[in-house]
Amino acid sequence: MQFQMPDLRLASAEIFVLFMACLVLILDLFVRDRKRTVTFLATQLTLIGAAVVTLATASNDVGFTFSNMYIADLLGDVLKLLLYLTVIIVLLYSRGYVLEREQMAKGEYYVLALFATLGMMVMISANHFLSIYIGIELLSLSLYAMVAMNRDSIPATEAAMKYFVLGALASGLLLYGISMIYGAVGTLEMNAVAERLMTMGYQGERTILVFGLVFVVSGIAFKLGVVPFHMWIPDVYHGAPTAVTLFIATAPKLAAFAMVIRMLANGLLMLAQDWQTMLILLSVLSMAVGNIAAIAQTNLKRMLAYSAISHMGFMLLGIVTGVVGGDARFGLNAYSSSMFYVITYVLTSAGTFGVILLLARGGMESDDLNDFKGLNKRSPWFAAVMMMMMFSMAGIPFFVGFFAKFSVLQAVVAAGYLWLAITAVAFSLIGCFYYLRVVKIMYFDTPVSTAPIEAPIDMKILLSANGLAVALLGIFPGRLMSVCHYTLARSLWL
C-alpha cells in the first residue's frame, strides 16, 4: 500500500494552533510577570491568527485529507470562526477573575485553553469516528485539568474527580459503540459508513448496529449533558472556578453540535429512525428535568447548569425532526434551526457568566442568587445586561432566544410533531419562572451592599457589546439564520 502525502493546507489552522500552544507553553517558562500578560496576549494572538488562517483557506468546496479522516467544508470553517471568537471572549471575561486567584494565575490556564480549543477544532472537522474520539479526549483531558486548577478548593477538586470518572465511563461507552459499528460495516469513515449502510442491505447486522448506536448515542448524550447522562453538569458547573465554568458552558457546545451532525446526520443517516426515537426521549427528559430542577436552585451556577440541560434538550428537537419516515427533506431547515439555537445559546451564556464574573471581585465568588439582590441600584446598566440575558434564555420576545426557540418549534411542527412542540412550549413556560426570578431579585429586592460596581473599561465594553448583540440579533435574526442555512446547505449530504 503506497503512502499518500496528506494535504496539510486543509488542516493548517489546527497545525498553527498546535504549534502556537507548544510555543506559548515554552514562552511562559521565561515570563516573570505574575499577571502573565505576555502569555495572555500570545494566547489571544494565537486565536486571532487561527481565524486568519481559517479565512485564508476557506472554500465552498468540500475537501478531505489524512486518508479521509479530516473534512474541510463550510460548516467546519464557520463553527471554527465562532469557536475562536467565543474563546477570545471567554478569556477576556476571565482575565480579572484569574488574576485574583494565585492557583489559577499561571500560564497553564491559557495553554490548557489552547489545547481544549484544538480538541474542539478536531471534533468540528472530523470525518472519522476515531478522529472524533481523539478530539473529544483532547478537549476532555484539558477540561479536567482546568476544573482542578484551583487545588486549594475542595469543591473544585471534587468536581474534577466526578467529571473525570464519568467522562472516562462515557468515553468507554462511545468506543464500545464505535467498535460494534465497525464490526457491522467494516469501516469508520463517515461517508463510507453512510454509503455501506445505504447499499449493503444491513438487515443481517441490524442487531449489532442498533446496539452500537445505543452506545454511541449514550456517549454523545454525555458530552451534550442531557438526561439521563447529566449527572456531572450541576456539580462541575458549581464546583469549578467560575472562569472555567464559563469555558465549559460555551465553546464545547459548538463542537458538540458539529459532532452530532457529523456522526448522526451524515454517517448514520440510514439509522435515523432508530436514533430519532432515542433523541426524542433524551430531549423530552432533558427539558423536563432541567427546567423543573432549576426552580429549586439558590446557586446561580447550579441553576444555569440545569438550564443548560434543558437548552441542549431543546436543541436536540431540531436534530430529531430532520428525518421523518425515512425522508430527509426536512433536514436542512431542522438542522439549521439547531445550529442557530446553539450559536445564540453560546452568546447568551457567555454574557450571563460575564456578569457573574464581574461581581466576583476580591477573590470572592458571587454566584448565589442573594448576591444579585438590588443589582439595579448598584449598576443599572449591568443589571439591564443581565436582564437581557435572562429574557433571551427564557425565550421572551424580542430577544434572540425567542427566535431561536421559534425556529426550532417551526421545524418541529413542519415535520408533523405537534405534540412535541406543545411539550417543548410547556416546559419553556416552566423555565420562565427561574429566569424571571433573577430579574425580580435584581430590580425589586433590597441590595445586601450599596457599593457601586467597579469594572475595567474592557469588561464594560465587552459586556455591553454582548448585551447589545443579544438584543439586536433578536430584532434582526434573519442574517444569522441565513448563514446557518447556507452553511449546512453546502456541507450536508442530503
* Residue range 48-101, pLDDT digits in tens: 999 999 999 988 888 888 888 999 899 999 999 999 999 999 999 998 888 888
Res 3: pLDDT: 61
Cβ–Cβ < 8 Å for 47, 84: yes
Q: Cell digits for 413?
A: 411542527
Taking residues 95-122, what's their average pLDDT? 89
Residues 209, 180 contacting (CB under 8 angstroms)? yes
What whole-number distance in Å separates Cα of residue 163 and Cα of residue 233? 8
Q: Are 292 and 382 in contact (CB under 8 A)?
A: no
Provide CB contacts within 8 A for 362, sequence distance 6+: 100
pLDDT for 136: 93
| Nearest-10 crossing angle of helices 300-320, 232-239 | 140
Q: CA angle at residue 342 from 341 to 346, to 5 degrees?
A: 120
Per-residue pLDDT at 494 exceeds 60? no
Smallest CA-to-CA distance from 286 within 263, 250, 310 is with: 310
Spatial separation of the C-alpha atoms in residues 67 and 128, rounded to whole Å: 10
Report the percentage of the chain scoring pLDDT > 90: 54
Task: State the chain's mean pLDDT as an integer.
Answer: 89
pLDDT at 202 over 60: no
pLDDT of residue 362: 66
Nearest to 44 by CA among 28, 24, 59: 24
Q: Which three cell numbers stand for residue 183?
A: 464490526
- Give the global pTM: 0.94
331-359 and 300-320 are packed helices; what angle lies between their axes, rounded to 10 degrees? Answer: 170
* Residues 266 and 68: beta-carbon distance below 8 Å: no
For Cα atoms 450, 452, 458, give the angle at the middle one, nearest 5 degrees: 155
Which segment of 260-269, 396-405, 420-429, 452-461 scores lowest on mean pLDDT? 452-461
User: Which residue is it, cell 454509503?
Assistant: 195
Q: Which amino acid is at 260?
A: V
Please list the residues that pair with 128 across neighbouring strands: 189
The whole-number pLDDT of residue 306 equals 94
Q: Is the N-terminal amide bond of 477 cis, ω within 30° of 0?
A: no
| Among candidate residues 475, 455, 313, the one with its CA nearest the CA of residue 402 | 475
| Share of residues in the chain with pLDDT > 70 (%) | 96
Residue 106 confidence (pLDDT): 84
Give the pLDDT score at 139: 94
Is the pLDDT score of 151 beyond 90?
Answer: no
Identify the pLDDT of residue 1.
47
Quote the CA–CA distance of 285 and 271 in Å, as a whole number.
22
Confidence of residue 21 (pLDDT cuts 50, 70, 90): very high
pLDDT at 68: 86
Q: Is the pLDDT of residue 267 over 80?
A: yes
User: What is the predicted pLDDT for the residue at 310?
Assistant: 94
pLDDT given at position 326: 60
Residues 4, 123: Cα–Cα separation, whole Å:
23
Q: What is the pLDDT of residue 329?
A: 66
- Lowest mean pLDDT across 38-52, 344-358, 361-375: 361-375
> Are 438 and 390 spatial neighbours (Cβ–Cβ below 8 Å)?
yes
Q: What is the structure's pLDDT at 194?
A: 85
Contact present, 23 and 17 (Cβ < 8 Å): no
Residue 325 has pLDDT above 80, yes or no: no
Q: Quick one: pLDDT at residue 363? A: 64
Query: How many other β-carbons are positioned within 10 Å of the β-carbon of residue 19?
Result: 11
| pLDDT classification of 369: cutoffs 50, 70, 90 | confident
Read off the pLDDT of each residue in 43-49 and give the average, rounded to a whole number: 95
Which range, of 130-139, 166-175, 218-227, 448-457, averages the lowest pLDDT?
448-457
- Report how far residue 77's alpha carbon sits from residue 45's, in angstroms, rounded to the nearest whole number: 18
> How many alpha carbons lie under 13 Å from residue 67 in its C-beta half-sphere?
11
Half-sphere exposure of 241 (CA within 13 A, CB side): 30
Instruction: Give me the mean pLDDT over the 482-488 stretch.
Output: 90
Q: Determine which of 18-22, 194-198, 238-242, 461-465 has the lowest per-residue pLDDT on average.
A: 194-198
pLDDT at 365: 76
